[in-house]
Amino acid sequence: MAHFIGAVLFIHIFSVYALALEEEFGWSKVALAGAFALSRLEVGLLGPVQGWLVDRYGARSIMRIGLIILGLASLGFSQIDSLLEFYICFFAIALGSSLGGFLSVTVVLVNWFNRHRAKALALSQLGFSFGGLLAPVTILVIETLGWRATAGWSGITILFLAWPVTKIIDHRPEDVGETPDGIPRDRFEHEIPNSAKYSLSGNFGSYSSTIEVLKTKAFWLISVGHAAAGTIVGTVIVHIALHLNQHLGFSLGFVGAVITIMTIMHIFGLLGVGFFGDRYNKRIVSAVCMGLHAISLLLLAYAESIWMVMAFAVLHGIAMGVRGPLIQAIRADYFGVKNYGAVMGWSLVIVTIGMAIGPVFAGYMADQTGSYVSAFTVMAIIGGFGSILLLLAKKPSLAR
């Protein structure tokens, strides 16, 4: 639900808001992308602190604070009249969505699941995907009521849902007398190997400190490879509507259809994570997905027909759905869950740099050249680079 709220109201339709803001205020694509970039950098810098806070105080209170900030910031966004106000409000929106969403939810799931970790992480992201399915509805509301009213009602909706959404969150299974994966306690104590008893022991093959993890080559290869994915995903989020509407001449209705197709394929990818994650090497599958990202960006850059755009949506959606949960699961498999929140937070510092640079670079190139061809081609090259890094990210030996 936390993923769903942010996805349906903002993330999937950021480019539609950008299009509306450009039409009303005449701001450049670089200026619009700059707000997204600064928000990603903020999330990255927040990551280590948020990871520590979640590990220390639990996810429920952090998520609750985040959703309240997100709701209030959305109300503020509906009243902006200057670029500075836009930046301030979007900064707060990013802060709230970060505290209330991805990292906090991921830490909880990693704590609760061991055997089915990749599957659990994938299913949690279905909320993000279902939000994408409703993106055409949100776009229709923007076209009908205007972007200000849509943002205002979004804020009210978030504030209304913040308490019930977070009430069901429990940070660790032992906090409520449960065990990982829902295994009966007698089986967990007598049949499950000690190496798997991660939640009760708190030291199931984990690195003893975050510093130890940061010293491994695998951490940096995974993080930079993930940053390459973030560069591509961030660019698509910010510029997809601008590219399809302004440069290829498609209607906003068609933009909504493309987002829907991406979302459907994202769901298929998420549902396939359990199959791929259990049967194949997660690292190799993630690298293949980066290759699909690269191919999809080339299709989008050089699109000459509806079918090329649709092929982009299919490949990009599948790649996102499979890759995201697998990379998260790889971190837990490689480094353990004892300090997972902090490890994930430090990794997000690197990932969000990519998500910040990509949209700004694409906006600059579009402003300078009048098209997104060069920018999307560079994104495809970055995708290939990320694929190589993930292939090289082999599991490190645990040094004590």
Higher pLDDT among residues 152 and 41, named by residue? 152
Mean pLDDT, rounded, of the chain: 82
Higher pLDDT among residues 136 and 12, named by residue? 136
**Could you tell me the sign of the dihedral formed by the alpha carbons of 99, 272, 16, 13, in that order?**
negative
Q: Which of 66-80, 104-118, 364-378 has the lowest mean pLDDT?
A: 104-118
Residues with Cβ within 8 Å of residue 376, at least 6 apart in sequence: 235, 243, 297, 298, 300, 301, 362
**For 127, what's the count of Cα atoms within 13 Å in the CB-facing half-sphere?**
15
Find the radius of gyration of the CA atoms of the chain: 20
The whole-angstrom separation of Cα 122 and Cα 352 is: 20
Confidence of residue 16 (pLDDT cuts 50, 70, 90): confident
Confidence of residue 41 (pLDDT cuts 50, 70, 90): confident
328-375 confidence digits (pLDDT tens): 888 888 887 777 777 888 888 898 888 889 999 999 999 899 899 999
Residue 110 has pLDDT above 80, yes or no: no
The whole-angstrom separation of Cα 341 and Cα 254 is: 39
Residue range 8-26: mean pLDDT, rounded: 78
pLDDT of residue 381: 97
pLDDT of residue 263: 85
Tokens, residue 277: 């994650």
Residues with Cβ within 8 Å of residue 398, at least 6 apart in sequence: 205, 207
- Domains of the chain, start order: 2-172+208-392 (1.20.1250.20)
Task: Kindly write down the DSSP assignment for every residue of 113-152, as one continuous string.
Answer: -STTHHHHHHHHTHHHHHHHHTHHHHHHHHHHH-HHHHHH
Residue 30 has pLDDT above 50, yes or no: yes
112-124 confidence digits (pLDDT tens): 777 777 677 767 6
191-222 confidence digits (pLDDT tens): 555 544 444 444 445 566 788 888 899 999 99
Q: What is the reported pTM?
A: 0.71
The fraction of the chain above a pLDDT of 70, given in percent, is 82
154-203 confidence digits (pLDDT tens): 889 888 887 787 777 776 777 666 766 666 655 555 555 554 444 444 44
CB burial of 147-156 (b: ≥16 within 10 Å; e: otherwise) equals beebbbbbbe
pLDDT of residue 3: 53
pLDDT of residue 132: 65
